[in-house]
Structure 1
Amino acid sequence: MMAMVVGAIVMLIAAVIAVFLILVAINIALFLKLRSAIPQEPFSNSEHV
């Protein structure tokens, strides 16, 4: 019984970590794509404000 509970908890933690890593990878990819697509004007505008 305990082995099943521990196994389920380990699988749940592994699934959460996998989803978290996938979301982080997607965010990094989108950030790099947007940064390469957008020229440097937004950064200079934010500095002036």
Structure 2
Amino acid sequence: MKSLSKSSQIPLYQQVVEWIRESIYTGDLVEDDRIPSEYQVMLPTY
């Protein structure tokens, strides 16, 4: 998973949206896959 950055000028919610889009485009997320929980997404950030 691409890491998210609290210090980025891009808001976290936009980083998450971009990560989801990129994951779908690259095939990392396919139909019936579960999107990671908020905890799983934010754990590496904090």
The answer to whether the superposition gives a TM-score over 0.5 is no
- Greater radius of gyration (CA): 1
Relative to its length, the structure with more helix (as a share) is 1
Scaled to the shorter chain, the TM-score interval is: 0.3 to 0.5
TM-score by length of 1: 0.37
